[in-house]
Structure 1
Amino acid sequence: MEQRAAERKLTEKGLATRGRIIEGAVREVRARGVAATTLDDVRNATRTSKSQLFHYFPEGKAGLLLAVAHWEADRVLADQQPYLDELTSWEAWEAWRDVVVRRYREQGQQCPLSTLLSGIGRSEPESRDIVVGLLSSWQNRLAAGIRSMRDQGEIGAGVDVDRSAAALLAGLQGGVVVMLATGSVTHLEIALDSAIEQLRASAA
């Protein structure tokens, strides 16, 4: 909350500078890991002076990592749009499935959520709250799509919307974990295909 309030007080130029620093920090964290990334690494990568960096992030590394966590969390959901918020037909579900697989195939080890969970999400309570909020928002959007399809009669009336959304998200993340370990998106594809097929079959 404090991060968002601070952003609202900045000028357009200030927001651009702050954003440039955050994006540079994102690249450094992904390349080096949370623990190994220093403020000097970020300063050198973004050609930012020490005084300028602390102007935008007076809490130092902790504040910068919190901003990185916000940036990564926002990207996870943004990468799935507009499909994630328009799951109102089976064609839309297939389009969402395809964009998720494509994004993870392209991102590989640079997966935003893996960056959050592997270090930033465990470093500070505020960062963990960002991860929890991200997963909650993601699940709620999937639930909205399932509910829409159930209301249309495309999914069985007896389907538990929230449990189905939770299972779908858990399966997706399980596929991502396997992908990070093996480099293959096969398990992710199977998890998504199986979940969607199960939802479709529920109306039979």
Structure 2
Amino acid sequence: MTPGPRQRLIDNAIAMMRERGVHATGLADLLKRSGTARNSIYQHFPEGKAELLAAAELEAAELANGFLDALRARGDAEYLITRFIAWWVNQLETHDFDTGCPHAAAALAGPGEAQIRAAANDAFAGMRARLVESFRDSGVTDGVETLASLAVSAIEGALLQAQAAHSVQPLRDVEHELISLLRARRQ
């Protein structure tokens, strides 16, 4: 079944945020790409672009959290980190390093976009919470929250460096170091 206008707007907003960032995600391009009428935006998102992009970021967070939950169900923390980074490597290589994390794009939305930035904060909190659970399940007891924060920060930073360098090496470096930290912290 073909998604309705609201879902097409959200799906395409996520893709455009990953490709262009928040400020370069224009409504005219979004309407054209999603094949929706202009009134669809205001019918489904009365507050306009900010509400739409915040909703897109919240959905991107749900998708990421679902993916992390699935990885966690299949293996330990090392598995989760390795597979999560492998997914990003695939995304970067498949899209010629032209697509990034929608959470980073939303976080950089700017001070006038509090709704979008709040959605990014929620997304990062969801990622950290899942990593905390995975680390605890894998035998890490001390500094679990800090380690989860470090992991999210390192992966997000590596994504930015990978895009800039047109190389997945920053992600590989982060993967190696995070796995080393996990092994050292296990009880």
2:113 — aligned with what? Answer: 124
Q: Is residue 13 of structure 2 the alignment partner of residue 25 of structure 1?
A: yes
2:138 — aligned with what? Answer: 149
Q: Is residue 62 of structure 2 the alignment partner of residue 74 of structure 1?
A: yes
Contact conserved, 1:80 with 1:99, CA < 8 A, in 2? Answer: no
Query: 99, 105, 112: which is aligned to 1:110?
Result: 99
CA RMSD of aligned residues (A): 3.1
- Give SS of 2:103's match: helix
Any idea what the Cα deviations from partners look like across 1:83-114, whole Å, max 9, x if unmatched? 14555364555444433433444353312234
Query: 12, 26, 31: which is aligned to 1:43?
Result: 31
Distance across 1 between alignment mates of 2:127 and 2:56? 19
Structure number with bigger Rg: 1
- Map 1:50-89; keep pairs closer than 5 Å: 50-80=38-68, 82-84=70-72, 86-88=74-76
- Give SS of 1:109's match: coil
| Superposed displacement of residue 136, structure 1 | 1.1
Unpaired runs of 5+ residues, structure 2, are none
| Distance change in 2, residues 1:38/1:137 (3 Å) | closer
Query: TM-score if structure 2 supplies the norm length?
Result: 0.78
Distance across 1 between alignment mates of 2:47 and 2:183? 50
| Superposed displacement of residue 175, structure 1 | 1.1
Query: TM-score if structure 1 supplies the norm length?
Result: 0.72
Any idea what the Cα deviations from partners look like across 1:181-204, whole Å, max 9, x if unmatched? 111111111112111122213458
- Give SS of 1:178's match: helix
Contact conserved, 1:87 with 1:146, CA < 8 A, in 2? Answer: no
| Distance change in 2, residues 1:45/1:169 (3 Å) | closer
| Superposed displacement of residue 53, structure 1 | 3.1
Distance across 2 between alignment mates of 1:190 and 1:167? 14
Any idea what the Cα deviations from partners look like across 1:142-195, whole Å, max 9, x if unmatched? 111111111xxxx5x5x3211222222222122112112111111111112111
| Superposed displacement of residue 82, structure 1 | 1.4
Greater RCO, CA 8 A, separation 6+:
2
Distance across 2 between alignment mates of 1:134 and 1:193? 24
